[in-house]
Amino acid sequence: MSEEIDITKLETPELLELIQDDLYDGLADEVVASVNELLARDMTPSDVLNKGLVAGMEIVGFDFRDGILFVPEVLMAAKAMKAGMEILRPLLIETGATQIGTLVIGTVKGDIHDIGKNLVSMMMEGAGFNVINLGINTDVDAFLEAIEEHKPDILGMSAMLTTTMTYMAVVIEALEEKGIRDQLLVLVGGAPLNDAFAEEIRADAYCRDAAVGVETAKKLLAIRRGQPG
């Protein structure tokens, strides 16, 4: 039990491992305590984020993808992540640490499902992205407005219904018409989608679940930025 561990006596690498374990188990208080301890040891906020929280959420993501963890465990891990982030966020802003990218995400017009989309938001945040979540029933104007305002690297769209997924094509066509389609990556997801659908509507990729979404976002962004994936 982690509450029996005196974290001040742990070596820093052990403490980073502990954060990852506590994230995995969704233990928010324990994560917060370890974040504070690492900061007290003069670790930079961005190291605490990347070596602790992000590394931990990556393991959660893999096990979610592989069917070892399910939505409840991921939601609890995301809550623990959020608790740790609340301490780190102001420090990261202060130190001017750069985020790895910005994501604008929403469930498309006519569709009111947001559990999966919120999971993606939390895991992308966990991976170090700045996430602007537009919520459900998002029409093309709301997407365009948010893109103009936040200049995202990635646009994420979600749909749970066969009757609403076609609206994604409407949004992509609007991006093409405005001549801004190439400025961002478009990732799509949702129960009825598949690779062929993403290709047909000229999205950059279909992401089967939140973990695949994070992997794909990182990979495609690295390629786009000319870095080795």
Partner 1 sequence: MTTIQNLLDRGGYIITDGAMGTVLFSAGLEHGDPPELWNINQPERVAAVHEAYIEAGSQVLLTNTFGGSRYRLSLHNAQGQVVEANQAAAKILRQVADESDVDVIVAGDIGPSGEVLAPYGELAFQDAKDAFTEQAAALIDGNVDLIWIETMSDLEEVRAAVEGTREVSDEIPIVTTMTFDTHGRTMMGVTPEQAYETLSSFEVIALGGNCGNGPEEIIEVITKMSSLNNGKPLVAKANAGIPELVNGKAVYRASPETMADYAVNSFNAGARIIGGCCGSTPDHIAAIKNALAIHVQ
The residues that touch partner 1, with contacts defined as CB under 8 A, are 67, 69-73, 75-76, 109-113, 115, 136-137, 162-167, 169, 191-192, 194, 196-197, 200
Rounded distance, CA 119 to CA 102, Å?
16
The distance of closest approach from Cβ of residue 160 to partner 1 in the complex, given in angstroms and rounded to an integer, is: 10
The distance of closest approach from Cβ of residue 162 to partner 1 in the complex, given in angstroms and rounded to an integer, is: 3
The distance of closest approach from Cβ of residue 159 to partner 1 in the complex, given in angstroms and rounded to an integer, is: 10
Of 47, 24, 54, nearest to 128 by C-alpha is 54
The distance of closest approach from Cβ of residue 103 to partner 1 in the complex, given in angstroms and rounded to an integer, is: 21
Q: E strands within 13-61?
A: none
The distance of closest approach from Cβ of residue 37 to partner 1 in the complex, given in angstroms and rounded to an integer, is: 26
Give 141 or 148: the residue with its C-beta nearer to partner 1. Answer: 141
Give 47 or 173: the residue with its C-beta nearer to partner 1. Answer: 173
Distance of CA 8 to the CA centre of its chain: 31
In what helix (H) or strand (E) does residue 106 lie, and over which residues does it extend?
strand 101-107
Is 224 within 8 Å of 185 (Cβ atoms)? Answer: yes
Give 99 or 166: the residue with its C-beta nearer to partner 1. Answer: 166
The distance of closest approach from Cβ of residue 66 to partner 1 in the complex, given in angstroms and rounded to an integer, is: 8
Give 46 or 107: the residue with its C-beta nearer to partner 1. Answer: 107
Give 90 or 192: the residue with its C-beta nearer to partner 1. Answer: 192
SS3 label, residue 46:
helix
Give 110 or 144: the residue with its C-beta nearer to partner 1. Answer: 110
Give 75 or 91: the residue with its C-beta nearer to partner 1. Answer: 75
Is 140 within 8 Å of 112 (Cβ atoms)? Answer: no
Rounded distance, CA 136 to CA 109, Å?
7
Rounded distance, CA 187 to CA 11, Å?
40
CA distances from 43 to 40, 78, 122, 184 (A): 7, 22, 24, 34
The distance of closest approach from Cβ of residue 203 to partner 1 in the complex, given in angstroms and rounded to an integer, is: 12
CA distances from 12 to 35, 52, 86, 217 (A): 11, 11, 21, 30
